[in-house]
Structures are given as C-alpha cells and as structure tokens.
Amino acid sequence: MSVSPRLACRRTTASAMSEETPLLPTSASAHEAPVDARHEFKGLASIALQVSLATFARIALYSIDYAFLGHLGTTELAAASLASVWTTVPLLTVWSSMSAIVTLCGQAWGAGNGKLTGVWLQMGLTLVTVCTPLLMLYYWCVELGLRASTDDDDVVRLGVRFSRILMFSIWPNLIYVCLRLYFQAMGVMMPTTVVGTLSMAVSVAGNYVFIYGAFGWQGLGFDGSALATVAASWFQPMALTWYCVVYKKMHLDAWGGWDFSEFTRERVTVFYNNSAPAAVNSLVSNVASSALSLIAAWLGADIIAANAIVSGFWRLLWALFWGFGSGTQIRVSNLLGANRPNAAKTLGILGFGCTVITVTILALVTLVFRADVFRLYTNDGDLLNVCVAVLPIFVVAFMIEAMEMVFASILSAMGQVHITAWTSTLATWLVELPAAYVLAIVLDGGFAALWYSICLMEVLKLAVYVIVLRRIDFAAMAREAVKNMEVEDEKEEVSVAVAEGGTTALGANTGLPSPVPTTLLTPSGLVHQWDHVDDGVH
C-alpha cells in the first residue's frame, strides 16, 4: 500500500557509483551513524504538511458535487451516488489500464527515446477514444443496474438522468489521465497540481450556476450538478494541454507527431501486456467495492445518501492525516536504501506516533461537533440523525484504519507490497463483504452494520501487519534495498506525492468506503487505486 504513485523513470544510483564501489554493505560500512530523532521528525513533518495540504485540496474537489446535491435533497444525493456506483466499474477499468503509459513512457524517456515516448501516449489516446463509445452506451443503459439495486422509482429516474449527462465526461476524463501520466513520466508534475486546484473553483462555480442559475436564469436543478462535473472534466485536459503543450511546449522532446504506422504488432503487444493486468485488477477490485455499495442501496434511499455523506467526510479526515503515512513510506524507503536500518525503524515509530496523535485529535473534534460536521452535505434533520447514529463506530474504524495504513506504508517501503495486496484482497472478499451482508441484511443491522464489517476487516489487517513487522529484520531489508539499488531522490518522491494525491476520474464512485483497491472509497482504498493507476517502473 504505497502512498506515492510509482515515480516515472525510476533512477538507480548504480550509475553514479564507480566499478570499485561494493554493491552490498561491507563490515566497514556496517556501523550506522546515531539516529537524530529530532532531525528525522522535522523531515517527516515537512513531507506530511506538503502531502496533506495537496491531498486535502484534491479530496475537497470530489466533495463539492455531493455537498450541493445533499442540499437539494436526500433523493437527489442517493440517485447520484447510486448511479456513480454502477458507472465507476467500467470507467476505472479503462482508466487503470492507462498505467501502462507511465511505465512505458518512463522507460522510453529514461532511455533517451523521445519519439517512442510519444508513440506510447498515442496508443493510450487511441485506446481510450475507441473505448469511449462503449462506455457511453453502458452509461446510457445504467437503468438496468439501478432497478436491480433499488425499488425507489425516483432514485432510478434521477440516477438515469445523472448518468446520461455524466457520460459526456468520459472522454475528457480518460484523455486527462493519459496526458497526466505522459507528463509525469517526463518528470513534469506541478502543472497537474495547479490544474487540480483550479478544477475546484470550476466545480464550485459550475455547481452553483448550473443548479441555481445566475443573472436571471433559473438554473437546471439536479441536472446542473452532473453538468458541472462534465464542465470540470473538460477543463482539466484543456488546461493541462494549453499550459504544457501550447504555452510551455513541454512535449516537443517527446513527440514525433501522429503516425499510426508506429503501432507495430510488437509495440501493441507490449502495451497490452502492461495495460491488461491493471485493467483486470481494477475490475475485480471495483466489483468488490460496488458490491458493498449495493448492500447499502438495499437498505433504502436514506442509507444511500447517508453513505455518500459519511464517506465524503471520511475522505476529508483521511487527507488531513495521510501526509504522515506518505512521509513515513518515503523516509523509511530512503533510509533503508542508505543502509540505515535503525534510522528506518525509528522513523517508522515516529510516523506511527504522529499518525496516532493526529487521528486522535481529529476523532475528538468529530465527536465534539457531531452532527455539525455533516452539515456541509445536508441540512435534512432525519439524514443527519442517520449519520450521527454511526459516528461512534465510524470513529473507531477511522482510527484503526489509520494505524493499519501506516504499518502498510512501512511494509511497502520495504518492498513487501505482496503482503499488503493479498491481505487487503482476502480480507475484503472473505471478511468484509460476507460480514456486511450477514450483519446488515440477514440480521437487519442497518447502516451501522456496514461500518462494523469495515471495522472487523481493518482489525484483521492491522493484526496481520503488526505480526509481519514484528518478525521483519530491518537490517536484512536494508541490505536488500542496497542490493536492488532502488534508492530514489526524496525531493522527487515528495513532488510526486504532492502532485498525485487524490487524482482520479471525476464522477467516480463515492459510495460506501471499502479498503479494496478502488477510487474514492476508504482511504486505504484510495491509496491502492492511485498506486495501481499510476503504477510505474519497479
């Protein structure tokens, strides 16, 4: 569970070493310098502040639509949320397959082959353009899924309208991810941060104008929110293209012009081999998260709406503390690569301690203000009561997952991603989903039962990670890191973490939180999905 999406053009430090330099630590180099805890804390805090601020800005973008919809009414919010549950699966399947771009473009760029870098981008742009009509057809026919999810005719009717308007955001969403990963592969990341921040203003203005109107125009009401998402989706690729291509011309060294003759059988095969596994993994992951969201849908429109509200607030809290998780992974990874296992262990303890303190403060603030924290999304008294009723278990799940994510980030820093991936997948399919169905549907436990299932799964994952970390030899991990020479520049890692925090398709599923690798669900789900979408060179 890695915080920073994989850096494009991963640089090894081997080229910087002379042939006489030993690749593995010798007895002379085995004596580690004393750990300066204060210095390490300052470095960790600096990274945490940068990442948290950037991530919070991104997450806020995805809360805007639901804040406006929540104030329109419970039915409207439920319809948009349920529609997104169904439309997210195919959208993110194609979206995730574009991880091939950052891998292949990064390799080509690192090898000095600018023309091939552009060819890989062209393949990505072509693929998403071909897939767009099929996705639009799926969005148009989403009524079949909505009727299977709920018997509320108003929710179905509004959900169909929402999806059919939202389908015009598909192509710009997919074009944007291609361009973003293409420039990321060349080390150009800050423009995406700026574009993401400006998108917030576009979304707020669009929602207000299209919903309520302006200058004598009465607005479109519910339909206006979907239209605002479409506008923001088009703004992102247009703004990025204008700045990076038209104004700064950053593409010139990695673009040879459109040439379909470059789409050779060998290159298409390579692109397929890199994109297909990502697409399949995303499909499986998002089916699991959508299944959990559909369990919420069976409980009624009020629960669908409450789920969207609580999930939105969950993500905002996560953005405020995840900077420490991100910083912990970055620093532990670099300290291990520098053959400083004791410092890496100290940094891991510092990261865990800072996270616990931060989430405790956030939990106390949440419990003190209670219903007021949800008023951003709705003023409906009944809906607020539903949200407040799950607040205690919500806080417990939030704190447990925060600790679980920090431990997972430490494991990822050691290259033990297979442990976090298998643990998360098995815990989701074998514990969370069955528990949610039994507790919420069979035993009629209601909305709170879904959060109990999440909490149960997080406790299991936390226990597994604690056991694994207790048995891990940090010194051995340091030797392995030095052997692999996967040390990366810390400033570059921080830049990526800041630039990429929270980037995902507009209009994606904001349904029930679930730690499976998907987008905009629980925080650990966010981390998995962003890593997968932006999976780079190992």
Number of Cβ within 10 Å of residue 383's Cβ equals: 23
Q: What domain range is 73 assigned to?
A: 36-290+315-385+405-414+473-502
Instruction: Report the C-alpha gap between 408 and 416 in whole angstroms.
Output: 9
As for how many domains the chain has, the answer is: 1
Distance, first Cα to last Cα, the chain: 14
Q: Which of 302 and 442 is assigned the larger pLDDT?
A: 442
Residue 422 forms part of a structural domain:
no
Closest by CA to 407, choosing from 245, 524, 237, is: 524
Residue 19 forms part of a structural domain:
no
Identify the band that residue 372 occupies on the pLDDT scale cut at 50, 70 and 90: confident
Instruction: Report the C-alpha gap between 434 and 427 in whole angstroms.
Output: 10
Helix, strand, or coil (residue 384) = helix
Q: Is the dihedral of CA 31, 36, 41, 43 positive or negative?
A: negative
Q: Residues 202-226: pLDDT tens digits?
A: 888 998 999 998 888 888 888 998 8
Q: Where are the alpha helices (DSSP H) in 340-390?
A: 341-369, 381-389
The residue assigned the tokens 């494991």 is 411
pLDDT score of 511 more than 60 = no
Residue 396 forms part of a structural domain:
no
The pLDDT assigned to 492 comes to: 55
The pLDDT assigned to 145 comes to: 86
What b/e string do you get for 138-177 counting C-beta neighbours within 10 Å, with b at 16 or more? Answer: bbeebbebbeebbebeebbebbbbbbbbbbbbbbbbbbbb
| Local structure of residue 33 (DSSP, 8 states) | P
Instruction: Report the C-alpha gap between 459 and 451 in whole angstroms.
Output: 12
Q: Residues 474-501: pLDDT tens digits?
A: 888 877 766 655 445 555 555 555 545 5
Over residues 369-387, the mean pLDDT reads 84
The pLDDT assigned to 465 comes to: 92
Residue 508 forms part of a structural domain:
no
Q: Mean pLDDT highest for which of 175-184, 317-326, 355-364, 482-491?
A: 355-364
Residues of the chain with pLDDT > 90, as a percent, come to 15
Residue 236 forms part of a structural domain:
yes
The pLDDT assigned to 54 comes to: 66
pLDDT score of 342 more than 60 = yes
Closest by CA to 178, choosing from 241, 232, 221, is: 241
Instruction: Report the C-alpha gap between 108 and 89 in whole angstroms.
Output: 30
Residue 234 forms part of a structural domain:
yes
Residue 450 forms part of a structural domain:
no
The pLDDT assigned to 103 comes to: 74
Please answer whether residues 293 and 37 qualify as being in contact, where contact means their C-beta atoms are separated by less than 8 angstroms.
Answer: no
Residue 306 forms part of a structural domain:
no
Q: Which of 83 and 7 is assigned the larger pLDDT?
A: 83
Residue type, position 83, single letter: A
The pLDDT assigned to 326 comes to: 77
Closest by CA to 313, choosing from 390, 377, 378, 393, is: 377
pLDDT score of 537 more than 70 = no
The pLDDT assigned to 62 comes to: 67
| Local structure of residue 532 (DSSP, 8 states) | H
The pLDDT assigned to 209 comes to: 92
Q: Residues 259-315: pLDDT tens digits?
A: 888 888 888 888 888 788 778 777 777 777 778 778 887 888 788 888 878 887 888
Q: What is the mean pLDDT of the chain?
A: 78
Phi, psi of 186, deg, nearest 5:
-95, 5
The residue assigned the tokens 């692109």 is 271
pLDDT score of 503 more than 60 = no
